[in-house]
Amino acid sequence: MIDVRNILCPVDRSDISRRALMLAGHLAEWYDARLRLLEVVSVPLPPVSMGPVAVQGLTMEMRRAILDELDRFAEPARAFGVPIHVTVEEGDVVTAILEEAKALPADLLVLGTHGRGGFERFALGSVAEKLLRKSRCPVLTVPPGDRAQLPSEAPFKTILCAVDFSGASLKAVEYALSLAQEADARLVMTHVIDWPDEGNMAAALASALVETRRELEEEKRQQLSMVVPKEARTWCRPEERLLVGAPAHEIVRLAHEVSAEVIVMGVHGRSGLDLALFGSTTQRVVRDAPCPVLTVRTGR
């Protein structure tokens, strides 16, 4: 079983932050965990050309006012009956969140994919994307309200787990199995074979690749059937879906089809190739998913 004792929820008091907070509160209640609400006030540095300039930080009065506003912002989540601690930090947003996650230590980060105005604070490509890449603990990203309804009962009754058979995705399988067991949820396992559109191929080439594709599908189908351990199959009967096409598109399409309440995926490391893979699949799934996305990496 996954042990979740501390949940960190970075917010900017936007509507999507409120959605992330409510889901974090729901999960804190489910896991009997502590919830920490964090707002980071970004302190811009002066241009190098300006020379030494004193950077003005938060005064005690400003910090107190923000904490009071955070207390009011957190009030709806107190209905879950879990301990909620609010805190404010200043500096670089990503660095402050990662340092807070390490200090707790956080077992889960919950945040919205966009912030005030839809972009400025938690826009993909900036804060959310960097946290997905750099966080040592799992990150649960919450989409805007016009894309998804959040679970109102035991979390995540339908779980979609996308695997590419890497170490990170196998770690994601562990999380998906734990979530499914705890909530007695439907579990859908999928692997997407990244295959070019045959409609754009010359007929002779498409025909020559038929046998190659058939063999690849059989190989991946067998791999997918072995991802869930035998002992887990005593209580779990996962549905296995082998898909062919552009991975991000197919994962999002399947999430719509099965009415997934969460997508669980692995995140690769920090090499240039891994970041390219991240950008081409995980980021696109997080950007377009009709439900929250839980991203997991190997190690802590």
Q: Please, which pLDDT band fits residue 59 given cuts at 50, 70 and 90? A: confident
Q: Whole-model pTM?
A: 0.86
Instruction: Pick the closest to residue 200 from 146, 152, 240, 246 (CA basis).
Output: 246
Instruction: Pick the closest to residue 35 from 44, 26, 25, 49 (CA basis).
Output: 25
Residues 228 and 163 in one domain: yes
How many C-beta atoms lie closer than 10 Å to residue 250's C-beta?
A: 21
User: In the beta sheet, which residues pair with residue 109?
Assistant: 8, 139
CA–chain centroid gap for 51, Å, is 40
Q: For 187-206, how does the pLDDT look when each residue is reduced to its tens digit (9 = 90+)?
A: 999 999 987 765 555 555 56
Report if residue 152 sits inside a domain: no
Report if residue 1 sits inside a domain: no
Taking the CA atoms of 155, 280, 202 and 242 in sequence, report the sign of the dihedral they define: negative
Residues 279 and 165 in one domain: yes
* CATH number of the domain residue 15 falls in: 3.40.50.620
Q: Where is pLDDT greater, at 144 or 280? A: 144
User: Do 43 and 55 touch, CB atoms closer than 8 A?
Assistant: yes
Among 88, 109, 142, the domain-final residue is 142
Q: Where is pLDDT greater, at 54 or 141? A: 141
For residues 229 and 238, give the distance between their C-alpha atoms in angstroms, rounded to a whole number.
Answer: 11
Is the pLDDT score of 121 beyond 50? Answer: no
Residues 130 and 219 in one domain: no
Q: 195: domain range?
A: 158-296
Highest mean predicted confidence (pLDDT) among 110-124, 150-164, 191-205:
150-164
In degrees rounded to 5, what are phi and psi of residue 193? -80, 120
Total count of domains within the chain: 2
Report if residue 148 sits inside a domain: no
Highest mean predicted confidence (pLDDT) among 57-61, 144-148, 243-247:
243-247
What was the pLDDT predicted at 147?
Answer: 72
What percentage of the chain exceeds 70 in pLDDT? 82
Residues 113 and 179 in one domain: no
User: Do 4 and 107 touch, CB atoms closer than 8 A?
Assistant: yes
Residues 191 and 261 in one domain: yes
User: Do 166 and 268 touch, CB atoms closer than 8 A?
Assistant: yes
Which residue reads 């974090």 in tokens? 24
Report if residue 103 sits inside a domain: yes
Residues 111 and 230 in one domain: no
Q: Please, which pLDDT band fits residue 124 given cuts at 50, 70 and 90? A: very low
Pairing type for strands 186-194 and 239-245 reads parallel
* Secondary structure (DSSP) of 73-109: HHGGGGGG---EEEEEEES-HHHHHHHHHHHTT-SEE
The mean pLDDT of 8-34, rounded to a whole number, is 93
Neighbour-count burial of 123, counting CB atoms closer than 10 A to its CB (0-12 exposed, 13-18 middle, 19+ buried): middle
Residues 123 and 179 in one domain: no
Report if residue 151 sits inside a domain: no
Report if residue 53 sits inside a domain: no
In degrees rounded to 5, what are phi and psi of residue 208? -65, -25
Q: For 67-110, how does the pLDDT look when each residue is reduced to its tens digit (9 = 90+)?
A: 999 999 999 999 999 999 999 999 889 999 999 999 999 999 99
